[in-house]
Chains A and B, each alone.
Chain A
Amino acid sequence: EAQVTQNPRYLITVTGKKLTVTCSQNMNHEYMSWYRQDPGLGLRQIYYSMNVEVTDKGDVPEGYKVSRKEKRNFPLILESPSPNQTSLYFCASSFWRDRSYEQYFGPGTRLTVT
C-alpha cells in the first residue's frame, strides 16, 4: 500500500528542546516536501527535496532544517523550537510517471511548543 508515514503524530515540547519529525515513504518517489498549516494562514511550504542530497527552501524555512540522505526519508528538524512553530505539519511525496503527476500526504504531526 502506497504510504507516507510521519512520527510522532502528536508532540508537546518546550521551547529550545531540539526535536525531529520523521517522514518516510514507501513508493520510491524522488520528490518530498514539508508543509505547515495554521488557522487563517493556510498551508505553507517549509522545504522540499528533488532527490537525495538535493533540498531547497520553501516559503517559510526559518527555524527548520531538513536532510535527505536516503530516498525514502525526509526528516524535519527543529533545532530550537519556539512557540510560533506550534502548528500542524504535513509531509508529502510525489512523482512524475508517464506524463502523470501524483502526490501523497502523510497523516500530519500536531506540534505544540510551550
Chain B
Amino acid sequence: QQPVQSPQAVILREGEDAVINCSSSKALYSVHWYRQKHGEAPVFLMILLKGGEQKGHEKISASFNEKKQQSSLYLTASQLSYSGTYFCGTASGGYQKVTFGTGTKLQVIP
C-alpha cells in the first residue's frame, strides 16, 4: 500500500523551514527520501533504517518513528534550490523493494 505524504504542496519563502511527513499502514524496515526537479531524474537524499535514527544531510534531515510507521523530512532555512517534488519510499522486508508516496511539491520563493 502506498505511503501517504503530507502536505501535498507547500510554498515557502527563502529561509523558512518546512516539514514533510510520510506515513505508512505497514510495519517498516526502511524509509527513503528523494527530491525530483521538473524534467529531471529523482535524486536520492537519505535512507533511514529501523531503529529511529535521525539522519542529516546539510540543512536537510529526517527522522523515522518505526512504532508509528512514520517519517518526517525537515528542511531548515530553505534555499531556492530546495524547490522540487519530494518523495518518500518505504520498504517493509528490507530496503530494496520500495513503494513510493505520491509526493510533496515544494516551492521556495525569494
Q: Which residues of A contact B (CB under 8 A)?
A: 31, 33, 40-45, 48, 50, 56, 58-59, 90, 92, 94, 101-108
Contact = CB atoms under 8 A, between A and B. Distances in A.
Interface string B72-110: 000000000000000101000001111111110000000
A77 B109 CA distance: 42
B97 A104 contact: no
Contacts of A41: 102
Contacts of A90: 41-42
16 contacts: A33-B96, A42-B2, A42-B87, A42-B101, A44-B100, A48-B97, A59-B97, A59-B99, A90-B41, A92-B44, A102-B44, A105-B41, A105-B42, A105-B44, A107-B41, A108-B41
A105 B45 CA distance: 12
A111 to B, nearest CB: 15
Contacts of B98: 33, 45, 58
B79 to A, nearest CB: 22
Contacts of A58: 97-98
Contacts of B99: 44-45, 59
Given A42-B87, A43-B87, A103 B44 contact: yes
Nearest to B85: A42
A25 B100 CA distance: 23
A49 to B, nearest CB: 9
A56 B97 CA distance: 8
B30 to A, nearest CB: 9
B42 A101 contact: no
B100 A48 contact: no
B42 A42 contact: no
B100 A42 contact: yes
A101 B47 contact: yes
